[in-house]
């Protein structure tokens, strides 16, 4: 990716990596591995798998499960249905934490599909930050299995029916 304002997402990914401390990472996209340069240097036992091109769904299916997955420069070049299937597969099967850097809106040139926040939020993602590339929005979103569906307070066992007490009232 570029320099300048785009570097903001590098800092956000670095924070996420420091928080997650993943042992296995999958980078998907031609330059997706660039965000891991410093992390690789600081963590020699870290395993980075980088997919650069080809049949993304088939490659991901064969790749296994990872602590951390980062995808960029891919979704917008796939038909929306295929891109959604890829994200769902990553989210459900292949990633404990999934980070997506995606161009937002229809003003981008030469894209096969266009993404809005609601498309990605509908896939369970939450917005981390927004950056500008050539004056257009580029968003970093995440899916984190650890925080996705927290148990609501009302589901706590202290609120459950206790039949042994029913005839006492």
pTM of the model: 0.83
Q: Per-residue pLDDT for 159 more than 70?
A: no
Q: Which tens digits make up the pLDDT trace of 22-46?
A: 999 999 999 999 999 999 899 988 8
Q: Per-residue pLDDT for 88 more than 60?
A: yes
Unique residue bearing structure tokens 């580029």: 138
Q: Which tens digits make up the pLDDT trace of 101-138?
A: 999 999 999 999 999 999 999 999 999 999 999 999 99
CA distance 68 to 27: 9
Q: Per-residue pLDDT for 75 more than 60?
A: yes
CA distance 169 to 165: 7
Strand-pairing partners, residue 86, are none
For residue 28, give every residue at least 6 positions away whose Cβ sits within 8 Å of its Cβ, in sequence order, or none: 50, 51, 56, 60, 69, 70, 71, 72, 74, 90
Q: Per-residue pLDDT for 54 more than 60?
A: yes
**Residue-range domain boundaries for the chain:** 4-168
Output the CA torsion sign for 17, 20, 21, 23. negative
What are the φ and ψ backbone dihedral angles of 27, each rounded to 5 degrees? -105, 125
Average of per-residue pLDDT across 156-169:
67
Question: What CATH number should be reported for the domain whose range is 4-168?
Answer: 3.40.50.150
Helix (H, G, I), strand (E, B) or coil at 104: strand
């Amino acid at each position: 990716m570029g320099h300048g304002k785009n570097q903001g997402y590098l800092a956000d990914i670095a924070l996420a990596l420091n928080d997650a401390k993943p042992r296995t990472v999958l980078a998907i996209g031609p330059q997706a591995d660039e965000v891991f340069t410093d992390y690789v240097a600081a963590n020699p036992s870290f395993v980075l798998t980088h997919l650069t091109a080809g049949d993304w769904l088939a490659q991901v299916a064969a790749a296994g499960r990872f602590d951390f997955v980062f995808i960029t420069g891919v979704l917008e070049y796939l038909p929306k249905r295929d891109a959604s299937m890829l994200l769902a597969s990553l989210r459900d099967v292949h990633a404990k934490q999934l980070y997506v850097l995606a161009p937002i809106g229809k003003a981008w040139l030469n894209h096969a599909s266009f993404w809005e926040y609601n498309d990605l939020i509908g896939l369970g993602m939450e917005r981390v930050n927004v950056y500008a590339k050539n004056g257009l929005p580029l968003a970093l979103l995440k899916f984190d299995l650890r925080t996705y569906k927290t148990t609501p307070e009302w589901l706590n066992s202290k609120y459950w029916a206790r039949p042994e007490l029913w005839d006492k009232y």
